[in-house]
């Protein structure tokens, strides 16, 4: 079997989109979930062993709140202490 080299004239430029990728955006649909996103909520991925124990968001939140209550108060940073009150 002979290997043939392809000339640079036969290869498309890497920056140009091939014709078969010409997308018709007139058929695109809006994201039906976009309006339902609550900006105050954060999604966190739990490891499988942790997800077995904490099966509901309420369980995770209650444990995190208990942990927060045991933590010492957050120390004030020098930049925060020197800034004037609004």
Q: How far apart are CA 83 and CA 77, in angstroms?
A: 10
> What single-letter DSSP state applies at residue 12?
P
Instruction: Locate 6 and state its tokens.
Output: 């392809």
User: Is there a domain that residue 11 lies in?
Assistant: no
What per-residue confidence (pLDDT) applies to 81? 59
Question: For all residues of the chain together, what is the average pLDDT?
Answer: 79
Q: What is the span of the domain harbouring residue 68?
A: 40-72
pTM, full prediction: 0.43
Structural domain contains residue 23: no
53-84, pLDDT tens digit by residue?
Answer: 999 999 999 999 999 999 988 777 776 656 56
Interatomic CA distance for residues 54 and 21, integer angstroms: 44
| DSSP helix/strand/coil, 27 | helix
Asked if residue 14 belongs to a domain, the reply is no
- Report the distance separating Cα 17 and Cα 13, nearest Å: 8
């Amino acid at each position: 079997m002979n290997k043939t080299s392809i000339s640079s004239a036969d290869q498309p430029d890497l920056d140009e989109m091939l014709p078969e990728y010409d997308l018709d955006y007139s058929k695109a649909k809006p994201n039906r979930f976009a309006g339902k996103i609550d900006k105050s909520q954060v999604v966190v991925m739990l490891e499988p062993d942790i997800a077995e124990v904490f099966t509901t968001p309420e369980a995770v939140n209650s444990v995190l709140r208990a942990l927060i209550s045991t933590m010492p108060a957050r120390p004030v940073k020098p930049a925060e202490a020197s800034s004037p009150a609004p």
